[in-house]
């Protein structure tokens, strides 16, 4: 028996099977392809097969030989009908015998798949409408793989949860979530929400991708460096789930832009890396009465907080009433981070978002979670709402800087200066706010008062409200934050050296 | 004197060199305790910049400490 042959008469599988019987074989697998009564929505009445026989036989024999070699089976054969076939007739037969069943099944599957792809056989279908059409079997196979039946998202694995079900899936589809920041926290939030089928996802991020983002922001690719992160993330999410709507807001979230940005969304997820934006998002969420999920990380640790206006939960300002400025905590050295730390916190944010949308129990509103992922330590703290806010809106909202009044006193806090000695001569008192050990390793170019940031924060009574001060630090972040803080304490003539000593040194060199 | 457990996160963990310690103290309030630990470990933040929790609940700086209390000092963090 030839390994691959054509026949114009009907195939008898029982006779063919006999050829493959072997006392050394423990298993036999066969496949039979039959003429079906429908294809792509049309009723099929009969079939014609035509083949380029010499070429087809050679290619078919090659496939059978490949299967024997690849799976180590003892015997294999394939017979294909050509000519006219009636409904239900056997069109193709594959038989394999082997020592064990696994390789028999695998080889059988391989042969039929490869024959459909590679052997030049054409099929003419005759339909009940009187029409007919040629169908190349290879094209048939490609057709099926490329999803002629359009692919649909399948949420069955989450809908199987009794708390989700079809009703929960509809709630997800109806939800509109704004994710602010598409970085270390934002990436896991975005992918989880898109996968879950959240109907509308907005992405706010004004930054472009940098190579240093990729170790933790694995939605992106190295070739994407320099592109808009919001655009890139949107593109990837649309590939992941084409059935949801993804909106791009390639801009920074600021006090001015947030009220309009959040207007079309029901829920906010704060995923940025700075206090200014975190408090701005908090204030916008509280003003608009929308829930918000916050997370922050520091090296191997993270904090998670959920604000939900529907429950009596604390907002960021209940915990941090004074607000907290970037530069006032931490140190100048950029804190490092391992990818799974924001990854974990971001996934927890996504989980809290799903809990809020689905109304699941166990939401974190009213609590703050502290994680130490190096020690795998979790502390869950109850965070009561500020009592002064209980009867109405938050009593500690920051200034609404969409109004001119709110933007006032911080505009001129940064002072450009090439020459500290001349600043000194024009009446400024210079204060180096760095730590003593920093000053020891890199002393300032002129004599300055030395008052570490935290000492001044604790007690600023040594400063005189009427006098001008120029605060100096390494890069201008801490001095700026401190100057802003001190201005809030009526010290209206406190300035910060823009860019710090680093910028000054650059200018001297150039 | 009372026996307290103190847990540290983020900057405090770095500055204290451990994530938890048991201490015997005469401190009556978290404010007193923080001053004591500040001089011992060289903590730099002023109390106004951080939060304290007693037995898993955020507490005011003038709350009274009891023997056996578990204290957490929490600095704000912003990374993302």
Cross-chain CB nearest to A454 (options B45, B74, B79): B45
Domains detected in chain A: 4-145 (3.90.1170.40), 158-388 (3.40.50.720), 410-509 (3.40.250.10)
Q: With beta carbons less than 8 A apart as the criterion, state whether A190 and A198 touch.
A: no
- The alpha carbon of A54 is separated from its chain's Cα centroid by a whole number of angstroms, namely 53
Q: With beta carbons less than 8 A apart as the criterion, state whether A248 and A281 touch.
A: no
Is residue B80 one of the residues assigned to a domain?
Answer: no
**CA–CA gap between residue B56 and residue B5 (Å, rounded):** 12
**CA–CA gap between residue A380 and residue A304 (Å, rounded):** 10
Query: In which element (H, E) is residue A18 found?
Result: helix A13-20
**CA–CA gap between residue A329 and residue A298 (Å, rounded):** 11
**CA–CA gap between residue A226 and residue A349 (Å, rounded):** 27
pLDDT tens digits, one per residue of A250-294: 999 998 999 999 999 999 999 998 888 899 999 999 999 999 999
Chain B contact present for A458, CB below 8 A = yes
| Of B14, B10, B29, nearest in space to B69 by CA | B29
Pick among A274, A314, A324 to test the B interface (most B CBs inside 10 A): A324
Q: Which of residues 343-402 of A touch B (CB under 8 A)?
A: 368, 370, 372, 375, 377, 379-384
The parent domain of residue B27 ranges over 2-74
Q: Give residue A142's pLDDT.
A: 47
Whole-prediction pTM: 0.63
Work out how many domains chain B is built from and give that number: 1
Q: Per DSSP, what are the bridge partners of residue A223?
A: none
Q: Give residue A304's pLDDT.
A: 96
A319 and B44: CB-CB below 8 Å?
Answer: no
The CATH number of whichever domain residue B25 belongs to comes to 3.10.20.30
Burial A240-256 (b: 16+ CB within 10 A, else e): ebeebebebbbebbebb
B11 and A329: CB-CB below 8 Å?
Answer: yes
**CA–CA gap between residue A137 and residue A122 (Å, rounded):** 6
For CA atoms A178, A184, A187, A190, the dihedral sign is negative
Q: Give residue A148's pLDDT.
A: 46
Average pLDDT over residues B26-50: 90
pLDDT tens digits, one per residue of A307-351: 998 887 889 888 876 666 666 665 444 568 899 999 999 999 999
- The alpha carbon of A222 is separated from its chain's Cα centroid by a whole number of angstroms, namely 16
Q: Which of residues 478-507 of A touch B (CB under 8 A)?
A: none
**CA–CA gap between residue A198 and residue A180 (Å, rounded):** 16
Is residue B6 one of the residues assigned to a domain?
Answer: yes
For CA atoms A201, A204, A207, A210, the dihedral sign is negative
Q: Per DSSP, what are the bridge partners of residue B73?
A: B8, B52
Integer angstrom CA distances of residue A55 from A85, A95, A459, B48: 22, 21, 92, 85
Tell me which residues of chain A have a pLDDT lower than 50.
139-148, 331-333, 401-408, 510
Q: With beta carbons less than 8 A apart as the criterion, state whether B78 and B13 touch.
A: no
| Of A441, A415, A427, A410, nearest in space to A499 by CA | A415
Q: With beta carbons less than 8 A apart as the criterion, state whether A471 and A321 touch.
A: no
Q: Per DSSP, what are the bridge partners of residue A125?
A: A47, A133
Is residue B53 one of the residues assigned to a domain?
Answer: yes
The DSSP symbol for A365 reads T
Q: With beta carbons less than 8 A apart as the criterion, state whether A371 and A300 touch.
A: no
Is residue B32 one of the residues assigned to a domain?
Answer: yes
In B, minimum Cα distance to A380 occurs at B56
DSSP, collapsed to helix, strand or coil, labels residue A66 as helix
Say how many C-beta atoms besides its own lie within 10 A of residue A340's C-beta.
Answer: 14
Q: A109 CB contacts (<8 Å, ≥6 apart)?
A: A31
Q: Which of residues 28-67 of B touch A (CB under 8 A)?
A: 44-46, 48-49, 51, 53, 56-58
DSSP strand pairing (A429-432 vs A469-472): parallel
A379 and B56: CB-CB below 8 Å?
Answer: yes
Is residue B79 one of the residues assigned to a domain?
Answer: no
Contacts of A273 in chain B (CB under 8 A): 78-80
Cross-chain CB nearest to A329 (options B7, B49, B57): B49
Say how many C-beta atoms besides its own lie within 10 A of residue A375's C-beta.
Answer: 12
Is residue B39 one of the residues assigned to a domain?
Answer: yes
| Of A316, A312, A311, nearest in space to A285 by CA | A316
Say how many C-beta atoms besides its own lie within 10 A of residue A352's C-beta.
Answer: 27
DSSP strand pairing (A292-298 vs A200-204): unpaired
Is residue B28 one of the residues assigned to a domain?
Answer: yes
Q: Give residue A74's pLDDT.
A: 93
In B, minimum Cα distance to A319 occurs at B51
Is residue B49 one of the residues assigned to a domain?
Answer: yes
Contacts of B49 in chain A (CB under 8 A): 322, 324, 328-329, 454, 457
HEC readout, A437-480:
HHHHHCCCCCCCEECCHHHHHHCCCCCCCCCCEEEECCCCHHHH
Chain B contact present for A438, CB below 8 A = no
Q: How far is B65 from chain A (nearest CA, A)?
A: 17
The DSSP symbol for A12 reads -
**CA–CA gap between residue A389 and residue A140 (Å, rounded):** 67
Burial A445-460 (b: 16+ CB within 10 A, else e): eeebebbbbbebbeeb
Q: Which of residues 125-184 of A touch B (CB under 8 A)?
A: 181, 183-184
């Amino acid at each position: 028996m030839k390994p691959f042959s054509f026949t114009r008469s009907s195939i008898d599988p029982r006779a063919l099977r006999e050829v493959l019987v072997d006392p050394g074989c423990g298993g036999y697998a066969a496949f039979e392809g039959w003429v079906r009564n429908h294809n792509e929505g049309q009723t099929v009445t009969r079939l014609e097969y035509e083949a380029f026989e010499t070429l087809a036989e050679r290619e078919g024999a090659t496939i059978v030989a490949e299967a024997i070699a690849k799976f180590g089976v003892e015997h294999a054969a394939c017979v294909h009908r050509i000519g006219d076939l009636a409904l239900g007739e056997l069109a193709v037969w594959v038989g394999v015998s082997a020592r064990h069943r696994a390789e028999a099944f695998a080889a059988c599957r391989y042969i039929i798949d490869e024959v459909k792809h590679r052997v030049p056989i054409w099929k003419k279908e005759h339909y009940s409408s009187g029409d007919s059409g040629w169908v190349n079997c290879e094209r048939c196979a490609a057709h099926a793989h490329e999803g002629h039946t359009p692919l649909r998202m399948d949420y069955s694995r989450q809908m199987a949860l009794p708390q989700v079900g079809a009703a929960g899936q509809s709630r997800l589809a109806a939800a509109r979530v704004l994710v602010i920041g598409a970085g270390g926290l934002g990436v896991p939030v975005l992918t989880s929400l898109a996968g879950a089928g959240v109907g509308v996802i907005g992405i706010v991020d004004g930054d472009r991708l940098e190579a240093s983002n990729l170790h933790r922001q694995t939605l992106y690719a190295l070739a994407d460096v320099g592109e808009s992160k919001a655009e890139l993330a949107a593109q990837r999410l649309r590939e992941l789930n084409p059935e949801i709507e993804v909106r791009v807001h390639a801009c920074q979230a600021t006090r001015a832009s947030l009220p309009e940005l959040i207007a079309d969304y029901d829920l906010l997820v704060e995923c940025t890396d700075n206090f200014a934006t975190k408090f701005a998002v908090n204030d916008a969420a509280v003003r608009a009465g929308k829930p918000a999920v916050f997370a922050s990380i520091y090296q191997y640790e993270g904090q998670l907080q959920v604000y939900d206006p529907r429950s009596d939960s604390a907002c960021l300002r209940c915990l941090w009433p004074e607000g907290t400025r970037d530069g006032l905590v931490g140190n100048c050295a950029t804190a490092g981070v391992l990818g799974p730390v924001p990854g974990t916190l971001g996934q927890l944010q996504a989980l809290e978002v799903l809990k809020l949308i689905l109304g699941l129990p166990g939401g974190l509103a009213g609590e703050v979670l502290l994680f130490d992922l190096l020690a795998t330590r979790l502390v869950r703290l109850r965070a009561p709402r500020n009592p002064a806010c209980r009867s109405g809106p938050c009593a500690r909202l920051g200034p609404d800087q969409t109004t001119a009044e709110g933007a006032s006193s911080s505009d001129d806090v940064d002072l450009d200066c090439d020459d500290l000695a001349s600043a000194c001569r024009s009446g400024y008192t210079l204060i180096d706010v760095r730590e003593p050990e920093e000053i020891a390793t890199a002393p300032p170019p002129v004599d300055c008062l030395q008052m570490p940031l935290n000492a001044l924060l604790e007690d600023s009574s040594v400063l005189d409200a009427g006098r001008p001060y120029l605060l100096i630090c390494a890069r201008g972040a801490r001095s700026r934050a401190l100057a802003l803080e001190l201005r809030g304490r009526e010290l209206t003539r406190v300035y910060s050296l823009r860019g710090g000593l680093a910028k000054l040194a650059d200018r001297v060199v150039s | 004197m009372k026996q307290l457990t103190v847990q540290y996160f983020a900057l405090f963990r770095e500055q204290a060199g451990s994530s938890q310690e048991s201490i015997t103290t005469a401190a009556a309030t978290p404010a007193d305790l923080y001053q004591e630990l500040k001089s011992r470990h060289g903590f730099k933040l002023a109390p106004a910049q951080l939060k304290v929790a007693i037995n898993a609940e955020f507490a005011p700086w003038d709350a009274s400490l009891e023997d056996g209390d578990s204290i957490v000092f929490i600095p704000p963090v912003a990374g993302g």
